[in-house]
A and B are shown apart, each in its own frame.
Chain A
Amino acid sequence: MKRFIGFIKKEFFHIFRDKRSLFILFGMPIAQILLFGFAVTNEINNVKLAIYDQANDVESQKLIQNIASSSYFDVEKMLYNKEEVAATFKQGQVKAILIFEPDFAKKLTKEGVADIQVVTDATEPNTAMTITNYIAAIIKKYNDNFNKITTTPYQIQTNSRMLYNPELKSVFMFVPGVMTIILMLVSAMMTSISITREKEIGTMEILLVSPLKPLQVILGKVFPYIFLSIINAVVILLLGFFVFGMPMQGSLFLLGLESILFIISALALGILISTISETQQTAMMISLMGLLLPVILLSGFIFPIASMPKPLQWLSNIVPATWYIIIIKGIMLKGVGLLTLWKESLILLGMTLFFILLSVKKYKIRLE
């Protein structure tokens, strides 16, 4: 036990004396969560609009006011002829232009149908789509109010309700995602690098020719990172909770347990990587390509798994992060417990045990 503690003490010296690993450990989680939180987002805010109101009557003014008073849009300028429409887009001042037809109010009251054209700048297709949807929603609301006064018969009302994330906040998606990435990266990459570093500087030879058992070396290497990963997870959760208003519906205890399980599976992967790479460079490349990319692309963090081609869906099933994301989203957003998540948890547990067995088996007691 004294040997083990001595070993862990040494590992902490390594970590705290290396600025690069300190940065990866503590700088990156915070940078990532802030980056995703503030920069990478699908939500729109203060989008600049231009309006070409050919009618300029009571109803069009009312609608324009509704749009301008929402926090999503700022009416940047009013246009007065058709030529200006194209010119404004080319200058890139606005993301969308609303065009009211002449006699808007008259047509609406007399004929019951009036046209508004929404022209968007689709060089950014996702933004354009979102803008169109938001404007359509405002118009629909206005329309409903209008109908209440005039009462048109036979009408189907769609009442949609977004469960678990009513405001469609992207923070609900990226906090679990970033947490998964960070835990994977810190645990797997950092352990694989720290083990291969010993190979590179030759100290592994001395450690092997010592009474330390292979298991002691592995555990000693891994233990500090379990500890640091847990700290990281807590920091991310706190940031998500206090800065971005991430909900926490379920049991914190269960979340902690599942996170430790995921951390251990990532650590086992890290050990596995270190057994097949001779240098820190290789270990880092394998970690980035072999672990980080699947986590980002295949885990369902950014791209929904259901819309992937079948082979990729199968592939995503063997990525531990896929299951971890399902689990933590379930706990944080839906507040469900083991009763619902037992299958996912069991799969994650199975994968973790498999990786541990494999890495202990592949860990070499000699140099070859």
Chain B
Amino acid sequence: MSIRLNNISKSYGKVKAVQAISFEVNQGEIFGLIGPDGAGKTTLFRILTTLLLPDIGDAQVDGKDVVKDYKAIRNHVGYMPGRFSLYQDLSVEENLDFFATIFGTSIEANYELIEDIYTQIEPFKKRRAGDLSGGMKQKLALSCALIHKPNVLFLDEPTTGVDPVSRKEFWEMLKRLQAKGITILVSTPYMDEAALCDRIALIQEGKILEIDTPHNIAARFPLHLYNIAAADTYRLIQDLKAYTQAHSVFPFGKWVHYADKRSDFDPVDLRNYLEKKNHKNIVIERTAPSIEDTFMELAQHE
């Protein structure tokens, strides 16, 4: 077991940041914490990286207690905080060199681990970190977090504010790191990234809603789901919500995701209703539920 949380709770004054959180992450697994801003993801990261003390509960990282053995943990984990915490006034090379030095190693010694990532930013190694693009900063931050060959990698929203191409590349890198046996705990507000994890925990308002593989979580959606489109999307949502048999209505890309309360739901009924409401170009089709649908479903019932 690489990471283990047991009944962790933490409050800031009256605000309950996380409540009774328990989960386990296996060695070499990519585990995702999925939830909106303010769900408590960063608090969990800080507890696991020994930066915060939990009010209740205990946790182990790499077999070490986060409170008692905090020094040992600090030697063996890589941490990339929410903001890309780099020295903006140091160059790419100087940043990496600094983090290597404080972890008592050198760029050369662990070069093979960061090679994939670092070769992409190496042409800019003389450039100040502050002048890099979001995607480059992210790659540099990851290189810095990896330079000492950590057993466990903590990535707090590593792809926020990064372009889609860089995001995709970033996840490919994580997969390669995983292949090298590194356990990765990653948080993200993006549901499409959740699907790339081995297992995910859906988290909302400091509580875990569900823990499972992305596939099982998506499959957990209780009803049939339909993609609906019409000429006027805004009015479509209003009218769907007003429909008495509607279970849930959410905009989803260019579609509106609709689930009906009835088990014997016939789409023709809905089409008639929408036509009566003067909607044009109506499309109704079955679709497979995604993680986001399950999340919305679970969040709604909380």
Contacts and interface: CB of A to CB of B under 8 A. Distances in A.
B99 to A, nearest CB: 8
B19 interface: no
A113 interface: no
Contact of B77 (A10, A207, A209): A209
A205 B104 contact: no
Contact of B90 (A2, A10, A209, A211): A10
Given A209-B74, A367-B52, A18 B102 contact: no
B85 A14 contact: no
Nearest to B46: A367
Interface residues of A, number: 26
Interface string B185-200: 0000000000000000
B89 A14 contact: yes
B31 interface: no
Interface in B94-122: 94, 97-99, 101-104
A7 B102 contact: yes
A18 B98 CA distance: 18
A3 B81 contact: no
Given A206-B79, A366-B51, A366-B53, A3 B101 contact: yes
Contacts of B86: 203
A306 interface: no
B104 A211 contact: yes
Interface in B47-81: 49-53, 70-71, 74-75, 77, 79, 81
Nearest to A208: B51
A81 to B, nearest CB: 71
Interface of A: 2-3, 5-7, 9-10, 13-14, 17-18, 201-203, 205-212, 365-368
A261 B104 CA distance: 32
A211 B82 CA distance: 20
A6 B98 contact: yes
A207 B81 contact: no
Contacts of A365: 70
A6 B101 contact: yes
Given A6-B97, A366-B51, 8 more contacts: A3-B104, A13-B87, A14-B90, A201-B85, A207-B102, A208-B50, A365-B70, A367-B52
Contacts of B286: none
B261 interface: no
A5 B98 CA distance: 10
A195 to B, nearest CB: 14
A205 B101 contact: no
A9 B90 CA distance: 11
Interface centre among A205, A365, A368 (most CB of B within 10 A): A205
Contacts of B94: 10, 13
A139 B90 CA distance: 68
Contact of A210 (B46, B53, B102): B102
A367 B54 CA distance: 12
B79 A18 contact: no
A368 B55 CA distance: 12
B176 interface: no
13 contacts: A201-B83, A202-B81, A205-B79, A205-B85, A206-B79, A206-B81, A206-B85, A207-B102, A208-B74, A210-B103, A211-B103, A211-B104, A367-B51
